[in-house]
Chains A and B, each alone.
Chain A
């Protein structure tokens, strides 16, 4: 009996240690995301006790068609290349499923936007062709009554020379709202980009 108890205690301690050492440890889990939505202690097929080997599928069981979340989403994808090359950015390209991260300006991002990329713990995006960049997303934009500052694409409203909105941070080829001062920055600046570029429709027009 004592032997079994000791084994049990050892297993609990080992599990706790494993979790504490795992990157992205859920010390401040987003309240809408319960651990068991994505992880199983027993028999999980994916790494890090994930319920699926492909994280995108895991996310879309709730956020995809017929999923139970009202926040319907899809990948950011251009599968019919025109003037832009084909690309495909999956969920974890922009989101940290565990929590909203602090950003480089001292605030905290919304909607799980930005991931810890380099050990600083700050919300950043590993962009396709601009390296790892800070992103700030504290407002859903003026269409929903939020401020324009620090929304999807605010055209450097705070004047610090960094185009760090979540829609701006990657773009270098688009006509508008690039991650630098080139191109146009007056296309619906500060508005709610997803009103026209819906998340569920690949963010395309």
Chain B
């Protein structure tokens, strides 16, 4: 009899545990798996962005932002509401979406880590990336491009982490201090912003290579039309017709260039802290459907949205 009672107690405890864990999982469609730090609850308000660095989006409209100060990756809605966030063990920089996963450049561990969208660390790309400053993914070709500022190259992996090649290829125009990166799958092009190097008498630029690392063209920030000059180029984004945007972190502007002529078309923002102004902007992203432009505004601790700013 006592044994039966014991079994009954154990069974009840087990049922109770299963019910409670199901309730926890179902409580919020906001996560809870793996290394997720926290959820938005009534008792613990979600953190706010402090130092947004890089930004990317998934096709279904989630926006991912790395917060360099708080070591967090935020998932935001298009209205900038915080949907989720998870912690990274180190300083996150580059962030990108591909193959249903979030790729994060971790400056502290010098690696590119791959998370599911619930913030569970799945694996890393398996090869040291000294400073994974920015990441871009060609989803259809299963390729990940990582800008490594200190090693002065772009490293190319497949999404499972196999190293494929590096850009520039041997004998091609070198990168001095690469920072931001974007890919244009239609042209099979990699677009890289480069701080340049005054010691080598090379000004800041945007350089374009093909996927094999063959150099195609360079645009120097000191020789474009005067109103589009730049000196600290950071993140890049492509418009629907293949033109590109580059952020100048120094002057607080987003500059839009014609890919074919390399002439400036228009600019967004100006330096400052007022509405529509930027202080140390680091990245730019366009939501395809709305053509709204999202800019990580690091010193102002916010994301600035330029409605319809990404219209081709």
Contacts and interface: CB of A to CB of B under 8 A. Distances in A.
A52 B226 CA distance: 16
Please indicate which of the listed interface residues B51, B150, B199, B250 has the most CB atoms of chain A within 10 Å of its own CB. Answer: B250
B48 to A, nearest CB: 12
B271 interface: yes
Contacts of A65: 51, 53, 68, 91, 93, 282, 298
Interface stretch (B9-17, B160-168, B206-214, B229-237): B229-237
Interface of A: 34-37, 40, 43, 45, 51-54, 56-58, 60-62, 64-68, 70, 72, 74, 200-201
B106 interface: no
Summarize A's interface: helix, strand, loop or mixed: loop
Contacts of A56: 299
B249 A61 contact: yes
B299 A52 contact: no
B280 A34 contact: no
A64 B195 CA distance: 14
A34 to B, nearest CB: 4
Contacts of B232: 61-62
A183 to B, nearest CB: 29
B229 A43 contact: yes
Interface string B181-197: 00000000000000100
Contact of A58 (B107, B198, B250): B250
A66 B150 contact: no
A68 B179 contact: yes
A68 B195 contact: yes
A72 B51 CA distance: 14
A51 B279 contact: no
Given A65-B51, A70-B131, 15 more contacts: A34-B198, A43-B226, A54-B271, A54-B279, A57-B280, A57-B299, A60-B298, A61-B249, A61-B280, A65-B68, A65-B91, A65-B298, A66-B180, A67-B179, A72-B107
Interface residues of B, number: 34
Interface string B226-255: 100101101000000000000001111000
B179 A36 contact: no
Contacts of B53: 65-66
Given A45-B251, A53-B271, A66 B134 contact: yes
B250 A52 contact: yes
B226 A36 contact: no
Nearest to B152: A68
Contact of A66 (B93, B198, B231): B93
Contact of A37 (B51, B198, B298): B198
26 contacts: A36-B198, A37-B198, A43-B229, A45-B271, A54-B271, A56-B299, A57-B250, A57-B252, A57-B279, A58-B250, A60-B299, A61-B249, A61-B250, A61-B280, A65-B53, A65-B282, A65-B298, A66-B54, A66-B68, A66-B133, A66-B234, A67-B179, A68-B149, A72-B91, A72-B107, A74-B69
